[in-house]
């Protein structure tokens, strides 16, 4: 069993708005182990990006714990309220790749300047400018970008979407993080470029032993890249397991609804979608958040949030219809 | 776009598939008259309509409609939905005709896309992605068209919402005898939706075939590369994909199209002739056309 690198326990995130409080993440718990690749999958508004942003402290949770096992700090750091020095050390080990590569990069600075800033931040010792550039060029070569010198001199608008995303990946991996969080990194890219980026991420992450949390709404991509997937709905995790097993045998009614709605090459009939719509986060449903749309709901579903029930060794589902009679 | 030719039959869905820079959206816009072609003809029910929309007869304008790619930017965020849906009537109304019937027609349109009548007063920026997509479709249906160009109608939508919109579009096609020209980059979706697939690369058609035949037997190396790159969810689907082709390079800029066959720099089967001569479209199997030197001996050359 690999050591635990990141542990998220009962995470809650609320955003106050004019007429109440949006309870976007409502009790999410999962762990990422060293060298593991996790997928966080769900539709818009399910809270997957918010969870990712909590880990890098772009968003403040309203409750819950996020514990990160930091090598530089030499101990487990609480990422919700870390000490100043602890955070300074731990943050150099976590990197994030954002959804739209052209907007993730600063448009008014060259790639070289941005790379240098990123590397200087992670590596506190003052080094010669040349050293950073050498490291940057090496990183760009690793992501299979031809002519690193030209790329370094360019501005983001001079590069295509695929090239920008490779630059972002290079910047993220150049600092050799323990944990990489990728938030829909290939959504804005063409399908053939997406394939190349996925293979690249796969190879680099495997080689360096980095843990990866891949956030997306694309089930097919997760099947290719992740060891384990968590399906999220309305701020909660409803099912977890190895992707291939989960997709060929979806248990939770929401996952089943999703799988029926995904268009397939086999031309299996596409469903009409899942009836109903995502709940109001200001006044979310009691009990299981999916129950208003669920075809197999039981009376208990309206009152109590279902815990996880194991379906097999690795596969668990948060649904009372899988509760075995005592 | 470069020497593109295809046809759409009544009640057919023809899908134009390609990546960025392939010219797929440009075709859609040219069909509805937003762009005028530099050369060539577009025949709609026998009439040549290869002119900008302002020069087309009114009946043609009504019959050819479009649903734009991004419902967030194609609907005026400050107008109430009712006003957005009234506009086609105001534009196409016969001179002097009384516009009072508009209100009733707007409610009918909203009901057709399963939105309640009170949506007429809502501002479009308060709607969800799926609701906006439905309003965009209702707007296209307002003039009772015969052909609707769908430019990536579900690209920004979640999977479950996409399924609902696709089911709705299919029902409209059956009830209203519509033809669709569906532009997309999503081959898995087109597998389920289209009667015919046309693959485009850098402004040219590489391959054109009936859907089932295409997925059973993709001929052009670019088609094979596209198919082998699609992320799929089931093991059965994985078996249907062609052998993994190492997708290499990126799509060149349309300003700088490679000489000879525009795909040759990225093709695993490049021959000398590919670097020199642009291949012509040939019919290799019945109704299965491909533009590639690998098949130029086999196929009957089609004068295009």
In sequence order, the β-bridge partners of residue B263 are none
| A/B interface, count of CB pairs below 8 Å | 118
Q: Are A265 and B241 an interchain contact pair (Cβ–Cβ within 8 Å)? A: yes
Chain A residue nearest residue B242, CA to CA: A265
Shortest distance between the Cα of A14 and any Cα of chain B, in A, equals: 21
Res B257: pLDDT: 81
Whether the predicted pLDDT of B195 surpasses 80: yes
Residue B208 lies in a domain: no
Averaged pLDDT for residues A57-68: 94
Sort out which chain B residues have CB atoms less than 8 A from A158's CB and list them: none
Q: Which B residues in the span 179-218 are in contact with A, Cβ-Cβ below 8 Å?
A: 185-189, 191-193, 212, 215
Averaged pLDDT for residues B143-160: 89
Q: Cα-atom radius of gyration of chain B, to the nearest Å?
A: 21
Domain boundary (B165, B194, B223) is at B194
Q: Do B183 and B36 have their domain in common?
A: yes
Q: Does B39 contact A at CB distance below 8 Å?
A: no
The CATH code of the domain that includes B25 is: 3.40.50.300
- 3-state SS, residue A291: helix
Q: Do B57 and B96 have their domain in common?
A: yes
- pLDDT: is A54 or A196 the higher one? A54
Please tell me the least confidently modeled range out of A246-250, A279-283, A300-304, B97-101.
Answer: B97-101
Res A326: pLDDT: 44
Averaged pLDDT for residues A3-16: 94
Please tell me the least confidently modeled range out of A37-41, A166-170, B54-58, B78-82.
Answer: B54-58
Residue whose entry in the numeric block shows the structure tokens 């409080």: A21
ipTM for the assembly:
0.84
| Ramachandran angles phi, psi of A82, nearest 5° | -80, 160
A66 contact partners, CB below 8 Å, separation of at least 6: A6, A7, A8, A9, A11, A54, A55, A78, A79, A80
Q: Are B191 and A267 an interchain contact pair (Cβ–Cβ within 8 Å)? A: yes
Domain boundary (B194, B223, B242) is at B194
Question: CA angle, B71 as apex, B250 and B210 as ends, to 5°?
Answer: 55
- Return the beta strands (E) in chain B as ranges: 13-17, 43-44, 47-48, 64-67, 147-151, 179-184, 196-201, 204-210, 281-285, 288-291, 300-301
**CB-closest option in B130, B188, B250 to A160:** B250
Sort out which chain A residues have CB atoms less than 8 A from B127's CB and list them: none
- Reported as a single tens digit per residue, the pLDDT across A176-205 is 899 999 998 888 778 888 888 888 888 888
Q: Are A270 and B167 an interchain contact pair (Cβ–Cβ within 8 Å)? A: yes
Residue B98 lies in a domain: yes
Q: Ramachandran region of residue A322, left (φ > 0), alpha (ψ -120 to 50) or beta?
A: alpha
Band (pLDDT 50/70/90 cuts) for residue B98 is low
Q: Do B145 and B72 have their domain in common?
A: yes
Averaged pLDDT for residues B48-75: 87
Q: Which A residues in the span 115-174 are in contact with B, Cβ-Cβ below 8 Å?
A: 160, 162-163
- For residues B32, B38, B41, B43, the Cα torsion angle rounded to the nearest 10 degrees is 10
Q: How many domains does chain B have?
A: 2
- Measured CA to CA in angstroms, residue A113 lies from A49, A137, A148, B218, B227 at distances of 28, 13, 14, 45, 38
Residue B253: other Cβ atoms inside 10 A: 10
Longest dimension (CA), chain A: 67
Shortest distance between the Cα of B247 and any Cα of chain A, in A, equals: 6
Sort out which chain B residues have CB atoms less than 8 A from A192's CB and list them: 19, 225-226, 229, 247
Band (pLDDT 50/70/90 cuts) for residue B304 is very low
Q: Do B171 and B37 have their domain in common?
A: yes
Shortest distance between the Cα of A189 and any Cα of chain B, in A, equals: 9
Res A126: pLDDT: 66
- Reported as a single tens digit per residue, the pLDDT across B255-299 is 778 888 888 888 888 888 898 988 988 888 888 999 999 987 655
Which of A104, A107, A135, A106 lies closest to A119 in space, CA to CA?
A135
Band (pLDDT 50/70/90 cuts) for residue B208 is very high
Q: Are B160 and A257 an interchain contact pair (Cβ–Cβ within 8 Å)? A: yes
Shortest distance between the Cα of A274 and any Cα of chain B, in A, equals: 6
Q: Do B146 and B19 have their domain in common?
A: yes
Residues in chain A: 326
Q: Are B160 and A258 an interchain contact pair (Cβ–Cβ within 8 Å)? A: yes
- Reported as a single tens digit per residue, the pLDDT across A130-186 is 888 888 999 998 888 888 989 999 999 998 888 899 899 999 988 889 999 999 888
- For residues B230, B233, B234, B235, the Cα torsion angle rounded to the nearest 10 degrees is 60
Helix A161-174 with A129-142: angle, nearest 10 deg:
120
Longest dimension (CA), chain B: 67
- 3-state SS, residue A28: strand
Res B303: pLDDT: 42
Residue B115 lies in a domain: yes
Q: Do B93 and B223 have their domain in common?
A: no
Q: Are A264 and B161 an interchain contact pair (Cβ–Cβ within 8 Å)? A: no
Averaged pLDDT for residues B172-191: 92
Residue whose entry in the numeric block shows the structure tokens 């668990």: A316
Residue B1 lies in a domain: no
Q: Do B153 and B225 have their domain in common?
A: no
B165 contact partners, CB below 8 Å, separation of at least 6: B130, B133, B134, B137, B153, B154, B157
**CB-closest option in B19, B189, B233 to A247:** B233
To probe the interface with B, which of A190, A244, A280 has the most B CB atoms within 10 Å?
A190
CB distance B229 to A191 below 8 Å: yes
Question: CA angle, A241 as apex, A238 and A245 as ends, to 5°?
Answer: 115
Q: Do B48 and B182 have their domain in common?
A: yes
Average pLDDT, chain B: 86
The full set of domain ranges for chain A reads: 4-233
Band (pLDDT 50/70/90 cuts) for residue B119 is very high
Sort out which chain A residues have CB atoms less than 8 A from B241's CB and list them: 265
- Reported as a single tens digit per residue, the pLDDT across A207-241 is 888 999 999 989 999 999 999 999 999 999 999 99
Please tell me the least confidently modeled range out of A198-202, B4-8, B147-151.
Answer: B4-8
Q: Are A191 and B163 an interchain contact pair (Cβ–Cβ within 8 Å)? A: no
Highest mean pLDDT among A262-276, B29-43, B58-72, B193-207: B193-207
Q: Are B167 and A43 an interchain contact pair (Cβ–Cβ within 8 Å)? A: no
Res B96: pLDDT: 47
Structural domain harbouring B279 = 215-301
Residue B259 lies in a domain: yes
Q: Do B103 and B144 have their domain in common?
A: yes
Residue B134: other Cβ atoms inside 10 A: 25
Distance CA A175, CA A91 (A): 11
Residue B7 lies in a domain: no
Q: Do B93 and B188 have their domain in common?
A: yes
pTM: 0.88
Residue B201 lies in a domain: no
CB distance A294 to A287 below 8 Å: no
Whether the predicted pLDDT of B253 surpasses 80: no
* Element of type H or E holding B170: helix B159-176
Please tell me the least confidently modeled range out of A117-131, A161-175, B66-80.
Answer: A117-131
Fold category of A4-233 in CATH: Rossmann fold (3.40.50)
Sort out which chain A residues have CB atoms less than 8 A from B186's CB and list them: 263
């Amino acid at each position: 069993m690999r050591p635990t690198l990141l542990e998220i326990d009962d995470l809650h995130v609320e955003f106050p708005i004019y007429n109440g409080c949006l309870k976007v993440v409502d009790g999410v718990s999962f762990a990422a182990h060293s060298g593991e690749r996790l997928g966080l999958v769900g539709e818009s508004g399910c809270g997957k990006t918010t969870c990712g942003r909590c880990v890098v402290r772009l968003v403040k949770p309203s409750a819950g714990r996020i514990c990160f096992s930091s090598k530089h700090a030499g101990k487990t750091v609480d990422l919700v309220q870390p000490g100043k020095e602890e955070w300074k050390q731990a943050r150099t080990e976590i990197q994030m790749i954002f959804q739209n590569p052209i907007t993730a990069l600063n448009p008014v600075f060259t790639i070289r300047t941005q790379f240098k800033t990123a590397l200087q931040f992670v590596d506190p010792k003052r080094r010669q400018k040349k050293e950073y550039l050498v490291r940057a060029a090496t990183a760009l070569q690793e992501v299979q970008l031809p002519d690193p010198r030209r790329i370094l001199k360019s501005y983001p608008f001079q590069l295509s979407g695929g090239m920008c995303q490779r630059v972002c990946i290079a910047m993220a991996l150049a600092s050799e993080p323990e944990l990489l969080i990728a938030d829909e990194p290939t959504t804005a890219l063409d399908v053939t470029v997406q394939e190349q980026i996925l293979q690249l991420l796969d190879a680099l992450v495997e080689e360096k032993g980095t843990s990866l949390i891949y956030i997306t709404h694309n089930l097919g991509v997760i099947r290719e890249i992740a060891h384990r997937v968590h399906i999220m709905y309305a701020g909660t995790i409803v099912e977890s397991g190895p992707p291939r097993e989960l997709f060929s045998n979806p248990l939770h009614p929401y996952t089943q609804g999703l799988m029926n709605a995904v268009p397939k090459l086999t031309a299996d009939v596409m469903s009409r979608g899942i009836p109903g719509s995502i709940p109001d986060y200001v006044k979310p449903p009691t009990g299981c958040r999916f129950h208003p749309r669920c075809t197999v709901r039981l009376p208990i579903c309206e009152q109590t949030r279902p815990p996880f029930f194991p379906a097999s060794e690795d596969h668990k589902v948060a649904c009372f219809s899988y509760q075995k009679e005592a | 776009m470069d020497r593109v030719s295809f046809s759409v039959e009544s009640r057919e869905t023809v899908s134009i598939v390609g990546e960025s820079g392939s010219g797929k959206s440009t075709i859609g816009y040219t069909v509805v008259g937003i762009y005028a072609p530099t050369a060539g003809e577009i025949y709609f029910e026998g009439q040549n309509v290869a002119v900008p929309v302002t020069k087309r007869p009114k009946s043609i304008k009504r019959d050819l409609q479009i649903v734009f790619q991004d419902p967030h930017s194609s609907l005026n965020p400050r107008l109430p939905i009712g006003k957005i849906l009234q506009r086609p009537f105001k534009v196409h109304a016969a001179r002097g005709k009384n516009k009072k019937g508009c209100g009733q027609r707007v409610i009918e349109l909203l009901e057709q896309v399963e939105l309640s009548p009170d949506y007429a007063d809502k501002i479009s920026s308060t709607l969800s992605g799926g609701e906006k997509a439905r309003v965009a479709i209702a707007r296209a249906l307002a003039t009772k068209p015969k052909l609707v160009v769908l430019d990536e109608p579900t690209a920004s939508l979640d999977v479950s919402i996409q399924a609902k919109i696709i089911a709705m579009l299919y029902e409209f096609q059956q009830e209203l005898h519509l033809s669709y020209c569906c532009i997309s980059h999503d081959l898995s979706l087109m597998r389920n939706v289209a009667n015919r697939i046309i693959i485009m690369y850098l402004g040219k058609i590489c391959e054109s075939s009936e859907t089932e035949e295409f997925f059973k037997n993709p001929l052009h190396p670019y088609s094979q590369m596209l198919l082998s790159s699609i992320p799929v969810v089931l093991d059965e689907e994985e078996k249907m994909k062609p052998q993994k082709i190492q997708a290499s390079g990126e799509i060149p800029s349309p300003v700088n199209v490679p000489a000879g066959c525009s795909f040759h720099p990225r093709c695993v089967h490049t021959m000398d002739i590919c670097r020199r001569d642009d291949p012509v479209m040939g019919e290799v199997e019945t109704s299965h056309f491909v533009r590639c030197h690998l098949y130029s001996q086999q196929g009957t050359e089609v004068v295009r």
